[in-house]
Amino acid sequence: MSKPLYAYRVGEGSDKERVVVSNKGLSKRQFEMFYRHRWQVEVGIKVLKGHGLESYMVRRLRAIRL
């Protein structure tokens, strides 16, 4: 059984306005906060990959600390 999808308009009234589809059934305000935080994670990952982090995949907490 598939989950329902919800469409959210993000950035209304700006030149970055877009529609995002999600399986999260949240209020518009909740979704905007969720999306904003998620986008910050994506940007952070992109920055780390730009510094070569993708070649340092580890599976243990000790390796991450090192």
6-10 and 18-22 beta bridge pairing: antiparallel
How far apart CA 29 and CA 23 sit, in angstroms, is: 16
**Helix (H) or strand (E) segment spanning residue 17:** none
The answer to whether 43 and 36 have CB atoms below 8 angstroms apart is no
Reading the block at residue 31, the tokens are 């979704």
Residue type, 9: R
pLDDT in tens, the chain (66 residues): 688 999 998 888 889 888 989 888 999 889 889 888 998 999 988 888 887 776 666 777 777 676
The answer to whether 6 and 21 have CB atoms below 8 angstroms apart is yes
pTM of this prediction exceeds 0.85 = no
